[in-house]
Chain A
Amino acid sequence: MSQTVFAPWDDPTQKPLIQFKGVTKRFGDFTAIDNLSLDIFEQEFFALLGPSGCGKTTMMRMLAGFETPTSGTILLSGQDIAPVPPNKRAVNMMFQSYALFPHLSVWDNIAFGLRRGNSSKDEIAQRVEEMLRLTRLEKFSKRKPHQISGGQRQRVALARSLAKAPKLLLLDEPLGALDAKLRQDTQFELMDIQEKTGTTFVIVTHDQEEAMTVASRVAVMDEGRLIQVATPPEIYEAPATVYVADFIGDVNILEGKAHQAGDKVEIAWADGELPIRGTTARTFAPGQTCHFAIRPEKVTISTERPDSANVLRGKVIDIAYLGNLSTYHVRLGNGTMMKAQTANTRRLANRGITWEDDVWLSFTDTAGVLLEH
C-alpha cells in the first residue's frame, strides 16, 4: 500500500498560498511581530501555537485584514493583501467568541456572508443547507444563537465562516470555550471538515495538544518570532530549542558540558554522576554548555539496576496518577528532579514502585535530544 504523504513544504516546486515576507508589526513601542517570514501551503491545516501575547493572534488579524503590517508584505496567492480591506478578502475568520449575530437565526447567520455577494436566493439557500448538513445543524436552523448549546454555536460559527468557500479559513482559539470532552470530538470534526472542503485552515491556539492533534504543521511562536515550524512529530521528537521542548509536552532538561566523538556525545552534567550518553547530528565544541532534553515516557523506571546506556539512581518523591499513565517524580543523587512515565499496565494495587522507594532510571543513548539553547 503506497500513500502519498501530504508535505508541500518539502516540495520546492509548490507555490505557497500565504507568504509572510519580513513582516513586522508594532503597537507603539511594543513589537508584536518581529521580522517574520513564513510560507503556508494550500490545503494545509496550519497551527500557530504559543503563549498569550506571543503575537499569534496579531498574525491572524493581519491575515484577516484587521491589522496591517508595520513593514514587510503578506502575499495571498502571490498578491500583496495589505491594500485589500477585510470585506474584500477571500479569507474568512472564525472568532474566538464565535461572534454570532444574536438577532439572527442560525440559518440567517450562515447566510449573512452569502447575502453580501451576488448569489441568487436559490444559490444562497442551497449553500446554507449544504453548510447545515456539513455541520449537522439541520434541526437548529430556525433557532437563535442563545437557544443552542456552546458546541452547536461553535459549529454555526464554523458553518458561517465556511459558507463563502474562502481560500483561507482562520480559526482563533476555536475550541477554547468548549469542555475537554467536546473539544476532543470537535477537533476530529474540524479535521474531517477541513479534509472534505479542502480549505486551507490556519488555527491559533495556546493548547499544544490541540495543535498537535489537528495540524499538518505547527509553528511555535514566542515574543513575535517563530521558534520552530515543523510537523507535530518533528516538533515533539526533535524540538529546535529548549523553549519548544518545554512548551510542547512534558520534558526533563539536564544542563551539562558536551564532549563529542562523531555523533555520540557525553555530557558531564553533575559531579559524582556518570556522564549522560546521547546522539546528535549537531556539532558541539568540546566543553560547550548544552541541554539534554528527554521526554518522561522515554525514561524507564525500575527497582533493579537495568542494563542501559544511561542509568541514574534516585528516590521516588511523588507519583502523579493519571489513570492510564503514572508519572514518577524522582530525585537524583545531586538533588535534580527527573520525571519518568510508565503506562499502568497492571492494576494500581499491584504497582511495584511507591513513594520513598530507591529506583533506577534508564534510557538509551538515542532517547533524548541535545540542544544548544
Chain B
Amino acid sequence: MNPRRIFLIAVPYLWLLALFLVPFLIVLKISLSDIALARPPYAPQLDLSAGWNGLRSFFAALDLENFVFLTTDDLYWKAYLSSLQIAAVSTVITLLVGYPMAYGMARAAAEWRPTLLMLVVLPFWTSFLIRVYAWMGILSGEGVLNQFLLWTGLISAPLTILNTNLAVYIGIVYTYLPFMILPIYAALEKMDDSLLEAAEDLGCSRTTAFWLVTVPLSKAGIIAGCFLVFIPAIGEFVIPSLLGGSGTLMIGKVLWEEFFSNRDWPVASAVAIILLLILIIPIVLFQRNEQKQREAEG
C-alpha cells in the first residue's frame, strides 16, 4: 500500500480510536474498579511512576465485582427489560405515525416535497431539551392540552399524563419521528409510480398493491427507521427523567442516578458497558441491513 492510502485510512481510524475506543476503555476500566471516597471516586488509579510493580498491583485490583452486583439487585435487569420494552413500543408507534407521513410526503406534488421535508427537520432547529420542556408545559395538569380539553368539555377533571409512561411514549415518539420518516420517505420517493399501475393492471386493488408492492419496496427504509429510533430510545435519559414518573424505569435514568446521585462511578460504568453490549446486536443488524441495501442498489 502506498503512503497516501495508509494516510487516508489512518485518519478515520485514529478518529475512532480517540473518540470511541479510548473512552470505551476508560469506562471499561472504571467498571472494573472499586468505589472510593476520593477524587476521582474510584480505585485503583494507574500510577506509572511505581513502575512494573505499580502496574501489577493496578491490574490485580481490577475485578468483576460490579457486574456481579448488577445481577444481585433486580432493579438493573428490570430497568434493562423495561427500557427494551419502552423502546420497542415507541418504535412501533413511531412507525405507525411516521409511515403515513412519509407516504403522504412521497406522494405529494414534487414542488411541495422540499417544504414538507423541511417541516419534518424543522424541530431540530430548537434544542432538544427545550422541546422536551415544552412537552412538560403541554402535558402537565394545568397544561395546554388539559386546558383545551376542559374548555371543549370533553373532560371535567384534568388528565394525569405528565410523569407517566404515556408521557414518555409521547416524548420518544415526538423526538424520534424524523428519524423514522426520513429513511422511509427516501425509500418511497425512489419508487416508480408505474409499479403501482402495473400491479393494478395485473389485477391488484389499490390496497393489495400497497401491501404487495409499496411496503416490500420501502422495507429497507422501515428497517433503517426502526433501528434509528430503537437504538437511541433504549438508552434515553432526558425524556424519562423529565416526562416520566417515579414508576418509569429506564436504564438511562438508572445510569444517571448511579453517576450523579450515588456517585458510584464503577457501578454506573458497569451499567453502561452492559447497555453497550445489548445495543451491539441491533447496531450490527442495522449495519447489515444498510449493506444489503447498498448491494441491492449497486
Q: Which residues of A contact B (CB under 8 A)?
A: 64-66, 85-88, 91-93, 95-97, 99, 101-103, 112-113, 116-117, 146, 160-161, 164
Q: A178 vs B267: C-alpha distance in the bound complex, in angstroms?
A: 66
B28 CB-CB contact with A under 8 Å: no
Q: Which of B106-114, B197-205, B232-240, B245-253 sits within the interface?
A: B197-205
Interface check B195, CB cutoff 8 A? yes
A86 to B202, CA, bound (A): 8
Q: Which residues of B contact A66 (CB under 8 A)?
A: 197, 200
Considering the complex, give the chain B residue whose CB is closest to the CB of A97. B194
B194 contacts A64, CB within 8 Å? no
In this complex, what residue of A is CB-closest to B205? A87
Residues of A within 8 A of B198 (CB): 93, 95, 99, 101
Of residues 208 through 235 on chain B, the ones whose CB sits less than 8 Å from some CB of chain A are 208, 212-213, 216-217, 219
Shortest CB distance B197–A (Å): 6
Provide the residues of chain A in CB contact with B199, threshold 8 Å.
101, 112
Residue B192 at the A interface, CB < 8 A?
Answer: yes
Q: List 26 A-B pairs, Cβ < 8 Å.
A: A65-B200, A85-B200, A87-B200, A87-B203, A87-B204, A87-B205, A88-B203, A91-B201, A93-B201, A95-B197, A95-B198, A96-B194, A97-B194, A99-B192, A99-B194, A99-B195, A101-B195, A101-B213, A101-B217, A103-B216, A103-B219, A112-B199, A116-B202, A116-B208, A160-B202, A164-B202
Q: Shortest distance in angstroms between A201's beta carbon and chain B's nearest beta carbon?
A: 15
Chain A residue, CB-CB nearest to B196: A99
Question: Is there a chain A Cβ closer than 8 Å to B38's Cβ?
Answer: no
B296, CB-defined interface residue at 8 Å: yes
Which range holds the interface residue count of chain B? Answer: 10 to 19
Residue of B203, B213, B216, B219 near A164 (CB, 8 A) is: B203
Q: Give the residue name and chain of the A residue nearest to B296 (CB).
A: A146
Is B203 a contact of A117 with CB atoms below 8 Å? yes
For A92, A93, A99, the residue with the greatest tally of chain B CB atoms inside 10 Å of its CB is: A99
A113 touches which one: B192, B195, B203 (CB < 8 A)?
A: B203
A171 → chain B, closest Cβ, in Å?
Answer: 12
3 smallest beta-carbon distances between A and B, as pairs? A116-B203, A113-B202, A99-B198
Taken together as a complex, chains A and B put the C-alpha atoms of A254 and B203 apart, in Å, by 53
Q: How far is the CA of A64 from the CA of B201 in the complex (A)?
A: 7
Asked if A102 and B201 make an inter-chain contact with CB atoms under 8 angstroms apart, the answer reads no
Q: Is the CB of B201 within 8 A of A92?
A: yes
B192: chain A residues within 8 A (beta carbon): 97, 99
CA distance A95 to B196 in the complex (A): 11
Cβ A99 vs Cβ B197 within 8 A: yes
| B201 near A86: Cβ-Cβ < 8 Å | yes
List of A residues within 8 angstroms of B208 by Cβ: 116
Which residues in A have their C-beta under 8 angstroms from that of B194? 95-97, 99
CA distance A95 to B201 in the complex (A): 10
Query: Whole-angstrom distance from the CB of A58 to the nearest CB of chain B?
Result: 14
Name the A residues within 8 Å of B219 (CB-CB). Answer: 103
When C-beta atoms are compared, the residue in chain B nearest to A64 turns out to be B201
The docked-state distance in angstroms from the alpha carbon of A90 to that of B296 is 34
> Is the CB–CB distance between A86 and B217 below 8 Å?
no
B residues within 8 A CB of A65? 200-201
Known: A113-B203, A161-B202, A164-B203. 15 other contacts (CB 8 A): A65-B201, A66-B200, A86-B200, A87-B204, A87-B205, A95-B198, A99-B192, A99-B197, A101-B198, A102-B217, A103-B216, A103-B217, A113-B202, A116-B203, A160-B202
